[in-house]
Structure 1
Amino acid sequence: MKFQENTGTHLFKTSFGKILALKEDGIIKAKSIRYAYSERFKKPFPVKSSVSEIVFPEKTPVCPQIISPLLEKMIGKTEIDNFDVDESTQYLSIYRPEHFIENENIPVLVWIHGGSYELGCGDLLTADPTDWVKEQNVIIVTISYRLGIFGFLGGSEKRPANRGLFDIIEALKWIKTYITDFGGDSENITLFGQSSGGDAVAHLMICDGVEGLFNRVIIHSAPLGLRQNRQKMSSEFLMKTGNITAESDTFEIIENYKKHLPSFFKYGLKAAMPFSTQYGFPPLCTESEAEEKWKKSAEKYDVLIGINDEETAFYLRTSETMNRFLPKKIVNRAIRSTTEVIYGKPAKEFAENYAEAGGNVYLFRIHPRVTDNYFMGAHAIDLPFIFGNESAWKNAGILNNIPWKYIDENGKKLRSLWTEFAKKGKISNQSERPEILELRKV
């Protein structure tokens, strides 16, 4: 295993086992720890503690998926050689400050990545939490879980639903059990997710089997407007991919399922996210029970929820068809209306219902004020502000004409506020706000 000159190693002696980690840039990274195993379409089972030294793999494990040209254009190119495809992709990574007071028990944030339940993994460079960990003296854990066909489409005995959710719950159990061995506070765990990761976080609040696993949630850009009335679409998608079995070739599955994606003309905006959590299957309740369960969870979890100002600009301003045939004014109107339908109105209603039930909840909206950027408030524009890491974002189309100094200055303030929430469940009115942020307690 090769290391750069400015890196070293650290050996964590934990009750799970001896875990080799990297020391780099003032933090310690325990990378790609396997927390569970799974067979195709089956529940994960936890990895047992080991007397052997646990060594991180050279390449990042990732669930089988098709690279998205849109994501490569807007966020950055995927370096395929850095990843290893693995259907049983239950891994987590722990980022901890190199120097902190012994027995301090610092707050823990758990990152649940987005990607429409179909793309990504926990360890993408664009969500590397190094800057956040160093600045705010927190531990951040990133999780990978099964995606797409393998994790979020089911409904039959042979292909049960919500396997990806079960993976995440297994990871949370691991974190709850072992994070104190890394200096983390097992009684102060905050889930943080963006896009489908935010949707997953919202649904984890009402899952069975999560009691005591986390205390707070931060939900960015969750497409909650697409969560309802999906049963017919999911059943049809499942039926059309019914020839996929436990024996089917992995890469043939990935190549072929795209032929059977739900029709936009039949299912509307919901078809834009063909995979999702599925109500009425473990560990979730039925759809009709969800609102009441969220209200009942108001006494358990502090919530910080919000969106970017023009979420769907990410998709509509990159659409050649729309921009070729429709006036700019019409495209802007479509962005405004679809942002509110999919993200804005559902987040506001979620927050208001939660507050009415007695919950502690904050609502936010992120809007960069750089007028010559074409994607000012688009989906994923929040990520460079929250994670930093300039080198990972240098070629991102979404940041066109936004100086990194602007991102860095606003990002530091945003990370400070989100850490304040993770530590205390509150954000003081006296705490400095970045100019990109609108925030209120509901």
Structure 2
Amino acid sequence: MSQSTDQLGLSTDHSRAVADAPHTHGRGGVPQASRAARPTSFDLADFPVPTGREEEWRFAPVARIVPLFDAEGTGLTGSGVQTTVVNPPEVQVEIVGRDDARLGTAGRPGDRTAASAWTSFPEATVVTVKAQAVASAATSVRVEGTALGELAPTATHLLVHALELSEAVVIVDHVGAALLTETVEIVAEAGAHLTVVSIHDWAAGSVHTTAHRLRLGRDATVKHIVVTLGGDVVRVTPDAEFTGEGGQIDALGLYFADAGQHQEHRLFIDHAVPSCRSRVTYKGALQGNGAHTVWVGDVLIRANAEGTDTYELNRNLVLSDGARADSVPNLEIETGLIEGAGHASATGRFDDEQLFYLQARGIPEADARRLVVRGFFAELIAKIGVPAIEERLLGAIEAELARSMGEIETGAAR
């Protein structure tokens, strides 16, 4: 394990691993249970109600998520969420019942809220990109919390299915106020090129857990983008599995947590077949008392997944006292016949030396802070490739920074 420093002055742990024997690596050298051994099931009863001591729940504010656990096993019956889809002609949209054979094909739930989402949704939205079609515009899926007064626990289900040799962009936008557990299935058939952007911009008071299950066929390419900005608690758990050689996934994430917010992202990339590639890049900033972000990245390279090429990166920028970022990269390798595998994690505070450097050249403090944070996110935002989303993110970051500067000026006035 070596130490290095990036342009923000953040201490970074790097690991490159190639071995002839099975290898498991966790942050701090702590042995990790194999992800391959973790239970998955469509049966809610197979997942006991979490206490917060379980590995997958140890960072989460379990008491705030309790309503979504369906502790009685009777199903979540809330209906305070409305899904609206705007699609181009190359994309078909259907509302289907629970018995539709296409549902559940991307994998099984891996925790209690994912299972309660599966057992509770009354109907599903299916978005299908037609075979060999190139979508003429992005498909917009708006998931809006519409409940008035007390929020009722609700479950929703979305399937995005890209057929062979198709190409499309799908944007899933979460707004309003809701208490929601959600399943998003993403299936990319052979040769498909699919971009899915999931934006969590909830109103205050919202609690949202969402399980994204991705399945990639031969030579399929998926760009999976997660943006988390609003809500009291947001927990996103993307699981991706390769089922054919030549598959590629780029998993990008951007999050900005404010006082009292908990934002958690837990990824699992399952390299189960040879010659596939994965790249994971998540960046987050946080500010304010009680702001908490969690990133856990698990990559499993199975014994038969020769020729795998994978790398995961997480960086966090802490802008104020009272905020906490947890970052845990895990890499498990069962074969040494790979192209490469590694991970990096970095968490650091705002660099006062950089501020001094910029201010010494006549740049006001507020502008200097904005420049540093913009630079932190710039490379990641440029990778998204959807101009409307990029502009929206830049505006959201500006709004967060304006709030931060207001707090700083208020504190200075005191």
> If the TM-score is normalised by the length of the shorter chain, which range does it land in?
0.3 to 0.5
TM-score normalised to structure 1 length:
0.31
Higher relative contact order (CA closer than 8 Å, sequence separation 6+): 1
- Kindly indicate which of the two structures has a greater share of residues assigned to helix: 1
TM-score normalised to structure 2 length:
0.33
